[in-house]
Structure 1
Amino acid sequence: MYNQGIFRTWVPKLVQLLLIIIFISVIVPVNGIYIGNVSAMVGSTGMPSEYFVWASYGSTIGMGAAMPIILRMKFRYKIRDKVTFIFILIAILSYLNGTTDRPLLIVANSVIIGYLKMIVMLEFIIPIMFMISPEGNRGKFYSVFYPFSIIVSQLAGYILAIVAFDYNWQFVHIVSAVICLALALLAWIFMHDKYGGFKMPLHYIDWLSILLFVAMFMLGAYVLAFGKQLYWIHSPRIINASIASFVSLILLVIRQYTLKRPYLSFKLFRKNNVIHGLIMLLFTGMFLSTGSIQNIFTVGILGYDPVVNASLNLLMIPGIVAAGVYMNFWFKQGRGLKMFIFLGFSAMLAYTVMMYFSMSLEFNFERWILPMLLKGFGMGALFIAVWYYTLDKIPMDEMLAGAGLVLVWRTFFTVGIFSALFSWLQYQFQIEAVGNLAIYMDGNSISYSQVMGNMKAIQFNAILAANKRLLGYICIAGIGVLMYILAYHFGVERYKIYRGIKVTSDRRKHKAKFKRTQLQEIEDAAGAVI
C-alpha cells in the first residue's frame, strides 16, 4: 500500500505543518563546513583556509550529484527508514568533522553530507510546494521558499558564529550532530513506514557517471580554491588537477551518449532560456563574489570579529523579504520577468557603487543598513527570477536530469570562479598600490623607524586602494549587465505585426503581378512590331 504523504494518519495537520517547518529549517543550513567558522578552524588546526573553502564547494557539488537520481531514491525506500537513516548518517559525519584535524576527511564528509541533504530535502519541499501553491505555480512557490531558505541560512550562520565564538568551532559540529539525531528520532516517531509510490529499482543508476560528475567538479573546485596559494599555472598540482577535471568531463559526456538511461541530459542546454539563464546566473555570481571584498574590508580594515561580521548578513533579511513579497505580487499580476530581473541587478549594482564610495578607514555600523538592504533585495530577486526563467517550461524528466549541472553552475562555479579571480586581482592591485605609495617615500627624508611605524597605515591604504579599484571594475561590468538585460527579449516578441499588414501585403503583391503582366504585354507588342 502506498502513501504519498510523509506523516502517519494520526498526526494532526497543525503538528504536521510544525514538523515540516522544523525539519526544513534544519536541513537547509546544515553543511559539512560553516563559512563563518573558517577563521577559527584555520587557527585551531593550522591548516590553510583553502581546504575549508574546498569543502564548502564540495557540499554544493554533492547536492548537484544527487539531483538526477532524486526521484528514484524517493520511491525506492520507505520514507521513515530513509529519513531516519540519513539524519543519523549526517550526525555521524558532522561529529567526525568536529573531532578530526584532517582537512581531507572534512572535504570528503562535506561532499557526502551535501549528497544526503539533497535527497532528504525533497521529501519536505514537495509538501511545502503544494501548501504554498496547490495549482503548481512555480513562481509563487519560489517567491516564498527561496527567501525562507536564504533567511534561515543567514540566521543559522549567525547563531553558529556565536556558538563558535563563545566555545569553539568543534562544538558547532557536535551541536549539529545532536540536532540531527533529535530529528532522526522525530522522523521515526511521526513518519509513516510505507512506500511513496511504485518501488523503483536502483540498478538503473549509473554510479560511474556520478563518480565522474563528482571528480570533475571537485578537481575544478581544487583549482579554484588553491589557485592563488599555488600560483595557478606555475604549480604542477594546478595543471594536473585541471587536466584531470577536463578528462573527467570528456569521459562523462561520452558515457552519457552510450547509456540507455543516461545519468545526465544535455538536451536542456539547447534551449534559449537555459543558455541565457546560465549567462545571467554567471552575472549573479559576479555580484555575489563581492562578499570576499566586503570580508577583506570588514575583517582586515574595520577589525570585525566573526560574530559582528556574521551579523551584517542579518541586515539583508528585510531586503530578501521585500523581494519575495514583491515577486509574489509580480507573478499574480502576470507580468514579465525582464524588469524584475533588471531591478535585481540594479540593486546589486547600487550595493557595489555604495561599497566603492565607502572604502575608508572609518565606517559606522549604521551605514551598512542601506547597502546590505539593497544586496538582500538583489540576491532574493535574482535567485527567484533567474532560476525561474532558466527552468521555465521544461519537462520534469529533463529538468531533473540537467538541474544538477545548473545547480552546481549557480552555487559553485560562478561564485567560485569570480571569487578566485577577485582574490587574485585584489592581491595584484594591493602590491601595485604599495609600490605607488612607496614613490612618496624618500630614504633621505624619512628614516627606517618612521617607515616601520607607519607600515600598518601604508598597508591599510594599499588594501583600500585595491578594493576600490576592483569594485570600480565591477561597477563598469554591472552597467554592461544592465544593458544586456534591457537588450534581451526574454521570450517576448519585440515587435508586434499590425493586423492589416497581410491585406496590405496581398494588395502590394497583386499590384506587382499586374505590373509584370502589363510589362510583358508591352514587351510582346514591341517584339511583334520590331
Structure 2
Amino acid sequence: MGAPVLNGPFTMPMFRDFVPRRLQPWIYVFMAVTFQLSGGLYLGSLNQMIGSTSLMREDLQMCLYANLSGMAIYFPLLFRMKFCFTNKTLLITASAGVLVCNLLAPYITFLPLLWAVCFIEGMCKIQGTFECMSNIQLWMTPKRDFTVFFPLLHIVILGSMQLSDLAATHLMYYYHWSYMHFFIGALILIDLLIMYCCTRHFRMIKKLPLFGIDWLGGLLWALLLMEIAFFFNYGDWYDWFNSPVMCSMAVAIIVTLIICLGRMFSIRHPFYEPKMWTYKNLLPILILITLTEAILATEHVLEEVFYSEVMRYEEMVSVSLDWLMLIGVVSGCLFAYWWMHIKRFNYLRLLIVGICGLVAYLAGYYFTISTDIHISQLYLPTVCRGFAYAVLSATFMTCLEEIMTFQHFFQALSVFNMLHMVMGGVMGAALYTQGLKYYVADNMARYGSAIDRVAFSRAPFNFGHYMEGFISQMLEVSIKQVYGWTLYACVLLLLLFLLYDAPVRRDLKAMPSWRGLRKEAAEEFSRRSKK
C-alpha cells in the first residue's frame, strides 16, 4: 500500500525534515506492530514458565487477563491524553512503560505485583498503538472511512497476536522463555531511538488539561473487571462456591458493581456516562460479542487439551497452526474490507458470514478430532477460525462506530473491549472447563466397565499402557462432546441471525403496539362522531 496523498493534505509534522515522507507512515506501522507484539507475559511459553517458576497455570493466565484489562479500561482516556500531550511525549512514555514492564515481569513472583505490572503494560501498549494508528489514519483512508480503517487495523492487531505467539514459542524452544522479554525490549529500544532521533514535539491543537476525568471511577471499573476475571479464572481451582474464597469474591463483585453504578449516576462526569448505555443497538452488539468470544474460547481450553493430552504434540508442532490462523485473520480482514468498503453490502449479512465461519470451524474440529489424524487435517478448521474471528471483530467494531457519537464512542469501545478481550473469553473458558470436567468423569464411569477381571487376566498385562490409552480415549470423546454442544449453540445463533434477516421481514409492516391501535381507534371514533 502506498501513501495516497504524499503531496496533498496528509502530513506527519512530528517527523524531522530528513526523514523521507514515503517512509514516515511505515515507521509508525512498524512501531504499532512492536507495541502489539508486546505483553506482560507470553503464554506461548506457558508450560516452560510453569516448570521454571512456582506459579500455576491459572496464575499466568490471570497475568494475561490483567494485561487485557489494562488495555480495555484505558480507552476513554486515549483522546484526553492526545489532547493534553504531544505525540512524541506519549510514544516515549508508552515505550518506556512497555520496556520497563517487560524487563521486570520475568523476575516478579509476588502475584498482585505481577498482575499490576501486566495491567500497566496493557495501558502503555494500547496508548502506543493508538498514537501510531491514529496519526496514520488519513494515510490509510483520506476520508476517515472506518470500513477501511478497522479491517486494516485488525490486520495489525490480530496478526501481531499470532506473530507474538510464534516468536515466544520459538525463543522458548531454542533458548529460554525469558528471551521473548529481551526481544521485545530490543524492539522497544528501536522505537525509543526513532522517537528521540527522528521526531520532534508538535502540537496541532491547544493543550486541553486533564480536568473532569473520573480517575476513581476508572479504578473501580478496573477493579470490577479484575474481580470478574479472577472469579472465572480460579473458579475450577477453588471448586467454585464450595470455597470461601469464591464466595467472598462473588460478594466483592456485587458490592463493587453497586458502587460503580452508584458513582456513575451520582457524579457530574463519570467514567462511563449513563447516556452511553442508551444508544440503540448497543446492548445487542455487546451481547453478541460476548457470545462470540465465549464460543471462540474453545481455542484456549479444548484445543490445548487435545494437542497436549491426546495428541501429545510438542509446542513447536501445535504452534505451527498459528501460521494457518494468521492466513485466516488476514483473509478475514481483507474480506471484511471488500464487503463493507468496496461492495457496501449489509453489515448484518457480513456478521452471518462470520458466524458461518465459526460453524465451519466447530464442525471441522468435531468431525476431525481423533488420535488417528495428521495435523494437516486441522489446517482448514484453523483457517476458518481465524477468518471468522477477523470478520466478526472488524464488523462489530464498525457497527459500534456507526451507532455511537464521538462523545461516547470511546466509552462504548472500552465496555466493548472489556467483554471482547476479557469477560467473554474467561467465562467461555470456565464453561468449557466445567463441561470437560463433567464429561471426563461421566465417560470414565460409563466406559470404566471395560477394565474388568477378563481384561486383567491376559498375560502379560501392561496396566500402565492400557490406562494411558483408555484415559486418552476418554479425553478424546469428552472433547468431542463439548465441541458438539458448542456447535449446537453456534448453529442456533446462526439460525437466529438468518431469521432476523429473512427476506419476508423487509416486506411486512412493523406490528403496531396496543397503545398505537387504541389511539388510532379513538381518532377514528372521534372523526365519525363529528360527522
Give me the TM-score of the superposition, normalised by structure 1: 0.90
Instruction: Report if the CA contact (8 A) 2:98-2:121 is conserved.
Output: yes
1:387 is displaced (CA, Å) by: 2.1
* CA distance in structure 1 between the aligned counterparts of 2:45 and 2:120, rounded to whole angstroms: 20
Following the alignment from structure 1 to structure 2, what is the Cα–Cα distance between the partners of residues 406 and 195?
30
**Paired residue for 2:500, among 476, 488, 491?**
488
Is the 8 Å Cα contact of residues 340 and 385 (structure 1) preserved in structure 2?
A: yes
- Deviation for aligned residue 1:8: 2.9
Partner of 1:476: 488
Other-structure match for 2:325? 316
- Which amino acid in the other structure matches residue 151 of structure 1? G
| Counterpart amino acid of residue 225 in structure 2 | F
Give the structure 2 partner of residue 182 of structure 1. 190
Q: How many angstroms does 1:415 deviate by?
A: 0.9
Residues 214, 270 of structure 2: 8 Å contact kept: yes
Determine which of 293, 296, 309 is the counterpart of 2:305: 296
* Paired position in structure 2 for 1:427: 437
Q: How far 1:447 moved relative to its partner?
A: 4.9
Counterparts of 2:204 and 2:133 in 1: how far apart (Å)? 15
Separation in structure 2 between the aligned mates of residue 54 and residue 261 of structure 1, nearest angstrom: 31
SS across alignment from 1:202: coil
Percent of aligned positions with the same letter in both sequences?
A: 20
1:273 has 2:281 as partner: yes
CA distance, structure 1, for counterparts of residue 395 and residue 93 of structure 2: 35
In the TM superposition, 1:258-407 aligns within 5 A as 258-291=266-299, 292-331=301-340, 332-407=342-417
Matches within 5 A, 1:221-232: 221-232=229-240
SS for the counterpart of 1:11 is coil
- Distance 1:447-1:33 versus aligned 2 partners, 3 A rule: farther
CA distance in 2, matches of 1:273, 1:100: 43
**SS of alignment partner, residue 200 of structure 1:** coil
Structure 1: which amino acid aligns with 2:250? S
Superposed, 1:28-43 pairs within 5 Å as: 28-43=36-51
Which of 341-350 and 3-12 deviates more?
Answer: 3-12
Select which of 174, 178, 194 maps to 2:202: 194
User: Does the CA contact (< 8 Å) of 1:163 and 1:172 recur in 2?
Assistant: yes
CA distance in 2 between counterparts of 1:266 and 1:164 reads 47
Which amino acid is the alignment partner of residue 84 of structure 2?
R
After TM superposition, list the pairs within 5 Å mapping 1:5-84 onto structure 2: 5-84=13-92
Q: Residues 160-179 of structure 1: CA distance to partner in whole angstroms, max 9, x if unpaired?
A: 21001111111211222232
Amino acid at match of 1:198: K
CA distance in 2, matches of 1:78, 1:17: 17
Paired positions, count: 505
Cα distance, 1:102 vs structure 2: 3.3
Match of 2:450 among 437, 440, 447: 440
Q: Counterpart of 1:86?
A: 94
- Tell me the SS of whatever aligns to 1:315: helix
Displacement after TM superposition at 1:487 (Å): 2.6
Asked if structure 2 preserves the Cα contact closer than 8 Å seen for 1:283 and 1:481, the reply is no
Residue 5 (structure 1) shift:
4.4
Q: Distance in 1 between matches of 2:95 and 2:481?
A: 46
- Which among 468, 472, 477 is matched to residue 460 of structure 1? 472
The CA distance in 2 between the partners of 1:431 and 1:139, in whole Å, is 48
Distance (Å, rounded) in 2 between the aligned partners of 1:264 and 1:328? 31
Superposed CA deviations along residues 409-453 of structure 1, whole A, max 9, x for unmatched, are 111111110011101110111111111121222235525954443
Indicate conservation of the 8 Å contact 1:98/1:171, yes or no: no
Report if the CA contact (8 A) 1:4-1:196 is conserved: no
For residues 300 and 341 of structure 1, the distance between their equivalents in structure 2, rounded to whole angstroms, comes to 34
Q: Which amino acid aligns with 1:56?
A: L
Aligned counterpart in structure 2 of residue 250 of structure 1, from 248, 253, 258: 258
Matches within 5 A, 1:167-178: 167-178=175-186
SS of the residue corresponding to residue 439 of structure 1 reads helix
- Secondary structure of the corresponding residue to residue 22 of structure 2: helix
Gap regions ≥5 residues in structure 2: 1-10, 510-520
Contact 1:277 1:387 in 2 (8 A): no
Residue 81 of structure 1 and its aligned partner are, at CA, apart by 2.5
Q: What amino acid is the match of 1:38?
A: L
1:345 alignment partner AA:
I
SS at 1:159's partner residue? helix
Residues in 1 aligned to 2:151 and 2:88: alpha-carbon distance in whole angstroms: 29
Equivalent AA in structure 1 for residue 388 of structure 2: G
Q: Say whether the 8 Å CA contact 1:52–1:107 is kept in structure 2.
A: no
Matched with 2:171 is: 163
Deviation at 1:319, TM superposition (A): 2.3
- Please show how residues 512-527 of structure 1 align to structure 2 within 5 Å: none
Asked if the contact 1:98–1:172 (Cα under 8 Å) also holds between the matched residues in 2, the reply is no
Of stretches 471-480 and 70-79 in structure 1, the one that deviates more from structure 2 is 70-79
3-state DSSP of counterpart to 2:151: helix
- 138, 142, 146: which one pairs with 1:138? 146
Shift of 1:265: 2.1
1:6–1:123 CA contact under 8 A, matched in 2: no
Q: Which runs of 4+ in 1 moved over 6 A?
A: none
Q: Could you give the per-residue CA deviations for residues 19-57 of structure 1, whole angstroms, max 9, x where no partner exists?
A: 112101101121102121111111110311101111101
For 1:336 and 1:407, locate their aligned partners in 2 and report how far apart those are by CA, in whole Å.
24
How far is the alpha carbon of 1:402 from its aligned partner?
Answer: 2.4
Q: Give the TM-score normalised by structure 2.
A: 0.89
CA deviation vs aligned residue, 1:1-20 (integer Å, no higher than 9, x gap): xx974423442212212311
Q: Kindly name which structure, 1 or 2, has the bigger radius of gyration based on alpha carbons.
A: 1
Q: Secondary structure at the match of 1:482?
A: helix
Offset at 1:489? 5.0
Distance 2:322 2:42 in 1: 14
Equivalent of 1:215 in 200, 209, 223: 223
